Amino acid sequence: MVHGATRNCMRKKTLYRNIHRLLPAFEAAARQESFTLGGEEVGLSQSSVSKQIIELESRLGQPLFIRSHKRITLTSAGQRLLTAYSLATSQIVDTLDDLIQERSRGQIVLSTSTANGAFMLLPRLAEVRECFPGREIFLVTWDPQGIEPTGQVDLAFTFGKPDFPGFQTRPLFPDILTPVCSPEFLDRYGPLRELSDLQNCELLYMQAQHPSWVGWRHWLREFSLELPQNHQPMGFNNYYNTIQACLAGQGVALGWLRQLGNMLESGRLVAPLPQFLQTEDRYQLAWPADRAPEFPIEPFEEWLGRRYGGAIPGFCVDTQPAQML
C-alpha cells in the first residue's frame, strides 16, 4: 500500500524529472529580455529557446513571460523562479570557488576532540600553524575520540586507537590523571592533603563515552578507596564543560594533565595531591590508511612531543604512578 506522502513524493519526482535542463535557457532569456539573445548565450536558436520555455511553463502550469510584439517581460512567477535560480547558481559558484581555493591553498583538515582542541591546540594555534607551513588548517572537533567518522579528514590528533577501521596511527605519549581544582576552591574548602579528603568534596565528572575514559570510581579504586554510597557527584557530558565548572570553583575534577598543562602553568588550576595514574593508552596521530598525508607530519609530531610529552608545569612527579589496568 502506497501512503499519501510517498505518492506526493513520487508525483513530484515525475513532475520535476529533467526539469533542470530547461532552466539555463529560461535564465538567459529572462536576463537578456529576449529569446534570441538568450539563445545566443546558451548556444540555442530562438525557436529552441521558445520551445524549452513553453515546455517549462506547461510543466509548472503557469506562464513565466508576458510576450509582446517586440519584447518579453517576466510574470510574478517568472520573477520568483529567476530569483531562486540566480541565488542557487551563486551558491554553487561560491562553493566551486571555495573548493578550487582549498585545493590551491593546500587545506589540511585536522580533526580532534573538543577537549584536545580547546586545551591543547587552540591556546598555541600559532605554533600549530608553523608545523604546516604554506597550508591552511581547518580544525574539526568531534567527540568522544576526535575522529570525524566519515573519514573526511587528513590528520587526526586523538587519544587511544581509533574505533573506526581504515586508519593508520602513530602513538605519541600517555597521560597522567590526578585531581585538580581552582585555587579559589582550595581557599574555600581546602586544604586537600590526603586522598580521603576527596570524600568530602564536590567531585565533578564526565560521563564515560569511550573505553579509554577513566572516571572517579575507577581512579579511586586504584588507591583502594571507594566513593561513599550516598555521594552524588556533579556530572557533565563533555570534558570541556567539566573543566569550566572546575575553573569556576564548583568542585574537584579528575585532571588529564597533558591537556591541562597550560592551566597548571598559569596557576588557574592546581593539583594538590601527589597521587596519580599513568594511562596505558596514548595520544595518537591518525590518518586514513587509503591515502597517505600529502604533507610531512613529523613537525607536528615533534611539536606535540616537545610541548606536551615531557614534564608537566605545575605538577611534580616524585613518586611512582599507579599503572592503569
For residue 151, what pLDDT band results from cuts at 50, 70 and 90? low
pLDDT at position 8, please?
59
* Cα separation, 154 vs 293, whole angstroms: 6
Q: Are 60 and 196 in a shared domain?
A: no
- On whether residue 248 sits in a domain, the answer given is yes
Which sign does the torsion angle of CA 309, 313, 318, 321 carry? Answer: negative
pLDDT at position 16, please?
64
Q: Are 97 and 187 in a shared domain?
A: no
pLDDT at 270 over 70: yes
- On whether residue 204 sits in a domain, the answer given is yes
pLDDT in tens, 97-140: 666 555 545 789 999 999 999 999 999 999 999 999 988 899 98
* Cα separation, 190 vs 251, whole angstroms: 11
The amino acid present at 158, given as its one-letter code, is T
Q: Which three cell numbers stand for residue 202?
A: 564536590
Q: Are 93 and 200 in a shared domain?
A: no
pTM score: 0.65
Q: Is the model more confident about 248 or about 91?
A: 248
- On whether residue 63 sits in a domain, the answer given is yes
- On whether residue 137 sits in a domain, the answer given is no
Task: Compute the average pLDDT of residues 177-194.
Answer: 92
Q: Are 182 and 315 in a shared domain?
A: yes
pLDDT at position 217, please?
85
For residue 298, what pLDDT band results from cuts at 50, 70 and 90? very high
Among residues 276, 271, 279, 273, the alpha carbon closest in space to that of 195 is found at 273
Choosing from 56, 86, 105, the residue where a domain stops is 105
Q: Are 94 and 182 in a shared domain?
A: no
pLDDT at position 290, please?
85
Q: Are 178 and 276 in a shared domain?
A: yes
Choosing from 105, 121, 142, the residue where a domain stops is 105
Domain range for 186: 174-280+311-323
pLDDT at 1 over 50: no
For residue 142, what pLDDT band results from cuts at 50, 70 and 90? confident
* Cα separation, 317 vs 267, whole angstroms: 17
For residue 254, what is the domain's CATH number?
Answer: 3.40.190.10
- On whether residue 193 sits in a domain, the answer given is yes
Q: Are 10 and 97 in a shared domain?
A: yes
pLDDT at 22 over 50: yes
For residue 70, what pLDDT band results from cuts at 50, 70 and 90? confident
pLDDT in tens, 229-246: 766 667 888 899 999 999
pLDDT at position 11, please?
56
For residue 46, what is the domain's CATH number?
Answer: 1.10.10.10
Q: Are 317 and 215 in a shared domain?
A: yes
pLDDT at position 324, please?
47
Angle between helices 46-60 and 23-32 (to 10 degrees): 110
- On whether residue 182 sits in a domain, the answer given is yes
Choosing from 65, 80, 105, the residue where a domain stops is 105
pLDDT at position 325, please?
40
Among 22-26, 89-93, 148-152, 219-223, the least confident range: 148-152
Contact 180, 259 (CB under 8 A): no
pLDDT at 227 over 80: no
- On whether residue 225 sits in a domain, the answer given is yes
* Cα separation, 248 vs 243, whole angstroms: 8
* Average pLDDT of the residues of the chain: 85
* Cα separation, 189 vs 263, whole angstroms: 20
Q: Are 88 and 181 in a shared domain?
A: no
Tally the domains of the chain. 2
- On whether residue 246 sits in a domain, the answer given is yes
